[in-house]
Amino acid sequence: SVSSQFGRIKWFEVAGHRFTDAPVSFSTADYGAFSEPYLAGNIGQDAMLPFRVVLDFSGYRLALVPR
**Which pLDDT tens digit goes with each residue over 7-64?**
999 999 999 999 999 999 888 889 988 888 888 778 888 889 999 999 999 999 999 9
Give residue 9's pLDDT: 92
More confident residue, 2 or 28: 28
Torsion 31-25-11-54 (CA) sign? positive
17 contacts: CB under 8 Å, gap ≥ 6: 50, 51, 66
Burial of 56 (0-12, 13-18, 19+ CB in 10 A): exposed
